[in-house]
Amino acid sequence: MDSQGLKPRLATIWLGGCSGCHMSFLDMDERLIDLALRVDLCSSPLVDVKEFPNVDVTLVEGAVANEAHVHELEIVRARSRIVVAFGDCAVTGNVTAMRNAFGVEDVLTRAYRSTSAVVVGVPDGADGMVPRLLPRVRPLHELVKVDYFLQGCPPSADEIYTFLNELLEGRTPTIRRFG
């Protein structure tokens, strides 16, 4: 991975998830210092970069739930050598996809029209401010090629560190859990 003597370039991105996987990433605590010496964190919700750069590895948290996610995921795939489905939402759809059994209109009605307090109406996405929800929430691999699947809701800090360490050492990370 480090053929030119440069540090491998790492990115993370947050699609339809709760950010719990990123919180778990931060839970690596002092091991983050070790990682910071070994990788360049180029783009992430934790890094203020506007344009997604070319990287070696991207951890993608969350399922694909709206039109913006599709767009972002396509960019991530095009610009990453290795794409990792980071956590259960990315791998299976998980909680994000539980709305699929109901249909998007029913879900929007329940969230925005049938509320007991303020009824603000359903954001329709027409003004481009809010991305339109997809009819069905999908795991990453339904849209793009995914190289590795890192399970867990969220994957524990230990699991994330072990996974990244295996990748950085040039080994193939093994599956230790499902869901």
**Of the candidate residues 86, 149, 161, 163, the single one contacting another protein (CB under 8 A):** 149
The whole-angstrom distance between residue 135's C-alpha and the CA centroid of its chain comes to 19
Asked if 76 touches another protein (CB under 8 A), the answer is no
Identify which range of 35-43, 68-76, 94-102, 117-125 contacts another protein by CB under 8 A: 94-102
**Of the candidate residues 46, 102, 114, 115, the single one contacting another protein (CB under 8 A):** 102
Q: Please tell me the distance from the alpha carbon of residue 177 to that of residue 57, in angstroms, as a whole number.
A: 21
**Of the candidate residues 142, 156, 158, 169, the single one contacting another protein (CB under 8 A):** 142
Identify which range of 1-9, 21-29, 111-119, 133-141 contacts another protein by CB under 8 A: 133-141
Asked if 92 touches another protein (CB under 8 A), the answer is yes
Could you tell me the smallest distance in angstroms from the CB atom of residue 103 to another protein? Answer: 9
Nearer to another protein, 9 or 22 (CB): 22
Could you tell me the smallest distance in angstroms from the CB atom of residue 131 to another protein? Answer: 21
By CB under 8 A, the count of residues binding another protein is 25
CA quadruple 68, 74, 79, 85: dihedral positive or negative?
A: positive
Where do contacts with another protein occur on this chain (CB under 8 A)? 85, 88, 91-95, 97-98, 100-102, 136, 139, 141-142, 146, 149, 151, 153, 175-179
